[in-house]
Amino acid sequence: MFTIGDFPHVRGVLRENEDIGKKSFFGVGGPAQFFFIPEDMNDLVFFLRELPEDMPITILGSMSNVLIRSGGIRGVVIVLGEWFSKIFVENSVLEVGAAVSCSKLSTVAMNNELTGFEFLMGIPGTIGGAIKMNAGCYEATISSVLVECEGISSSGQIKWLKSSDIGFAYRTSKIPDDLIITRAWFRGIPNAGYSIPKKVNEITAKRRNNQPLSQRSCGSAFKNPNGKKAWELIEAAGCRGMRLGGAMISEKHCNFIVNDNNATADDIENLGELVIQKVLENSGIRLEWEILRLGNKRSAEQ
């Protein structure tokens, strides 16, 4: 059993039994056994190199696409802080910290009259997680503008990956699970030939009109199967508006699960599994979760 005394002495924030569930977009879930926000890159490198070898590590961003299960997360949860939230622009290249929000990157690119980033205004999350899952919307993905990224392994080794070597695919990449993305470099396109603010405003309006932004959710619950739209399959299976406990399939967009009435993490996950079963029975297609489900369910003893 690990204790706080097993950790190296760091300059950043290190706490025990951190209530991270309430900080997630769903607002539910259990605590992190240990929680670390590094002061800077050197602090993170030192922490990882001095950490006990068998200590489980989970890296989280804004938790916009994550369901923290009710039993919480064992080991240490690492969240990158202010030092990793900077953007530098030189000509058409943007150097971006992994903790920068997707919407901030979109705004900075727009202010520098660089196109290719407008779609990021529709993605609530941070750059590190967006790269790992090849986040995208409205027919665009982050891999289309990424040049290179920097990461650090769980053993504290710094690595650089070119976009062409990452193996991007739909909502996934071949970035190792133990690699923490720390920085990335993107190339924008100058002289767009159209109004970038107008396009950003159109994306913002489309998202506002079609997604349940006033309710707690984590975006699209399920990936689109090949040639199909997940929401259409969910609709056809009669799941729009379905409820389980305090969780509900959104009436506005049925590929969204919302925390409608003090849902638990179990409510949300069980409702999602019920939708998967209903869609499979109706169409023969098994939906895959797009939301990351992390941690353990609460045991009977908890």
Residue of 39, 92, 95, 171 marked active site: 171
Query: In 50-187, at which residue ranges do the beta strands (DSSP E only) sit?
Result: 57-60, 66-68, 73-79, 87-90, 93-97, 114-115, 136-137, 140-141, 146-152, 158-162, 180-187
Q: For strand 73-79 and strand 136-137, is the pairing parallel, antiparallel, or unpaired?
A: unpaired
Question: Catalytic residue among 18, 118, 148, 290, which?
Answer: 290
- Which backbone phi and psi does 46 adopt, to 5 degrees? -60, -45
Q: Is 290 a catalytic residue?
A: yes
Q: What is the CA radius of gyration of the chain?
A: 20
Of 70, 106, 220, 250, catalytic: 220
Q: State CA 265 to chain mean position distance.
A: 17
- Of the candidates 199, 77, 69, 182, the one whose C-alpha atom is nearest the C-alpha of residue 126 is 182
Q: Which tokens sit at 223?
A: 């990936």
Residue 294 parent element (H or E): strand 292-294
- Report residue 173 as tokens: 């990449």
Could you confirm whether 50 is annotated as catalytic? Answer: no
Tell me how far apart the alpha carbons of residues 134 and 168 are, in angstroms, rounded to a whole number.
Answer: 7
**Nearest residue to 265 via CA among 27, 90, 44:** 27
| Known catalytic residue at 220 | yes
Rounded to whole angstroms, the Cα distance separating 7 from 3 reads 8
Q: Would you name the residues annotated as active-site residues?
A: 171, 220, 290
